[in-house]
Amino acid sequence: GVGAARAGNLTFMVGGVEQEFDAAKELLTCMGSNVVYCGAVGTGQAAKICNNMLLAISMIGTAEAMNLGIR
């Protein structure tokens, strides 16, 4: 999120050719504290989608629990 970006604590999930990842890693570590190589092209994006889906499921569960508690 914005707070992590300002603090330089972003996580980068990167897919692509490993040699190109190695070349870009130094630049990415200037912006984030966690840089993860995920494999072939597209795997970084797939990992990010999975992470976002897990967060959404967690938030839906929290909202449903709050709704139940209020009722």
Catalytically annotated residues: 48
Residue with the two structure tokens 């994006």: 45
Cα–Cα distances in Å, from 60 out to 46, 55, 65?
21, 9, 9
Contact 35, 14 (CB under 8 A): yes
